[in-house]
Amino acid sequence: MDIQRLVAAVIFSLSLLWLWEAWQQYNQPTPVTASATAELPAVVPQQAPAALPTAAPATEGQLQSAAQAVIETDILRAVIDANGGDIRELVLTRFTANGDASKPFTLFEAQPGRNYVAQSGLAEPTSQGLLPHHKTRFELVPGTYRLEQGKDQISLTLRAQEGGVELQKTYVFKRGSYVIEMREQVVNRASAAVTASAYYQLRRHGQPPEGESKMMYTFTGPAIYTEAGKFQKVNFEDIAKSKTDHATSAQDGWAGMVQHHFVSAWLMPTRDDATQRNFFTRSLGNDEYAVGMVLPGFTLQPGEQKQLAMRLYAGPQELEMIEPLANGMQFVVDYGWLTVLASPLFTLLKWIHNLIPNWGWAIIVLTVLIKGAFYPLSAASYKSMAKMRKLAPRLQQIKERYGDDRQKLHEHMMKIYQEEKINPLGGCLPILVQIPVFIALYWVLMGAVELRQAPWALWIHDLSASDPYYILPVLMAISMFIQQKLSPAPADPVQAKVMLYMPLIFSVFFFFFPAGLVLYWLVNNLLSILQQWRINQVIERAR
């Protein structure tokens, strides 16, 4: 297969990719509004898993604010509000904001229309009245708490009492960790027994992350994992239309919110915890949604107390960091439908990066290795192309002689191919093999947070973002022009003119692709040019 077929094949693949992304964006949810009052999760008054929260048909309203405490560690800044004891803001200080390198990246925020917070509380049968929940006013000492040098952790304790039950929440932040531990103590201060259950949820607006490129689709929304149901992503639109079937019960698993490069998830204290739990998703109205879990109900006699523990991971989708936390956490890294190929590619890329601590050079080395692996197939393809180029004058003569008789033209061309032992389709295999690799690497470079903000050299400061000056796409277009000159020219003048402009058209696709992907394709083109030029020289000398 010649360069024209290569370009056509890759453009076809890219077109499918863009059509898929456009379809995904088209199916993103539209804002949902409602007008009634949301209900709190209800529980069954027995030693069993609590009943699932009913899908709230109404808005919970704007988040009310009270006194706040700020926790600062070496890698994050969290704001905890006394109203509900929520985590209202979480800034990941080692990452910069999308599209604005002068600001740190904010994962959680409490802003009108863009709420994204972590909430928890106690639920109970409505006949007992309210217990401390995510709208209860807690007591806390406001101010800023900084993790001191030489200390490994810092904590903040909040207290609230409602319905005769006292709930004490203690958030524990550790150095170098995006895992926030929550230790809870429930005390029955009433004169009668109380039945309750703890629930944990993430409340988020239904829009993509601010500053994300609209040209590339990445999933944003709730995710639930259980060993039985495996990893399941839930569209906001399906929640709003009550299409989901995620009111499930299991003895394992977690519930979270996924977005490009980052994830938040409520996790049990240990990876192998077998506590029964109920998972839920719900629409809160006003284009806000919740995902979470309810733990088994428990009964406390007067004066009795119970200790609870939970973990919240809120940070980057770094596999080395999230895989040990819980089964299935690795699936939040979205490698698309070619995960089976993308995952080992990233493993190899990461291994190279350990030897060469620069992701750009690691991509170049990976390209060389991939090219080397495909060398025998590519060599056969380029030899076929070189022979076709050599036969171009004879083929043109036959075309001029039998141009009006398609059958005779085809017969004489096939005769020449047989005499010269040329398979006109001999280049198909290497192209078909390389296209899945190209698409898999696309998803690797899109999904790997390790490449976010990763510089290469000179003007490339973020390999996961597009080239700000379009230099790499232009160089890639030039390399494609050179490849065309080394390939046999199309016999059809119209096709020849189309292929003349194809590198320019093709490079436009890459204006919006990650610089790391364009770098891979540019280096691949340069290696192909060298290989093709060398084979052409050998064939020419053999005349």
H helix or E strand, kind and range, residue 79: strand 76-81
> Strand 68-72 to strand 76-81: parallel, antiparallel, or no bridges (unpaired)?
antiparallel
Q: Which of 502, 483, 486 is nearest to 494 (CA)?
A: 502
Residues of the chain predicted below pLDDT 70: 1-61, 125-129, 213-216, 243-247, 377-406, 408-413, 416-431, 433, 486-503, 506, 535-543
Structural tokens at position 366: 């990976």
Looking at 3.30.870.10, 2.70.98.90, 2.60.40.10, 3.30.465.10, the CATH number of the domain 43-208+217-332 comes to: 2.70.98.90
Sign of the torsion angle spanned by Cα atoms 232, 233, 238, 239: positive
> Strand 68-72 to strand 143-146: parallel, antiparallel, or no bridges (unpaired)?
parallel
What's the confidence (pLDDT) of residue 218?
Answer: 81
Helices (H), 208-308: 236-240
What's the confidence (pLDDT) of residue 381?
Answer: 64
What's the confidence (pLDDT) of residue 425?
Answer: 57
What's the confidence (pLDDT) of residue 210?
Answer: 83
What's the confidence (pLDDT) of residue 418?
Answer: 66
**DSSP class of 272:** T
Q: Which of 498, 509, 508, 442 is nearest to 3 (CA)?
A: 498
Alpha carbons 275 and 295: distance in angstroms, whole number? 8
What's the confidence (pLDDT) of residue 177?
Answer: 96
Alpha carbons 59 and 37: distance in angstroms, whole number? 6
What is the tens place of the pLDDT at every residue in 300-322?
999 999 999 999 999 999 999 99
Range(s) for CATH 2.70.98.90 in the chain?
A: 43-208+217-332
> In this structure, are residues 321 and 222 in contact, taking their beta carbons and an 8 Å threshold?
no
Altogether, the residues listed in the chain come to a count of 543
What's the confidence (pLDDT) of residue 430?
Answer: 60
DSSP 425-466: TTTHHHHHHHHHHHHHHHHHHHH-GGGTT---STT---TTS-
End-to-end CA distance of the chain: 22
What's the confidence (pLDDT) of residue 513?
Answer: 81
**DSSP class of 112:** T
> In this structure, are residues 329 and 254 in contact, taking their beta carbons and an 8 Å threshold?
yes
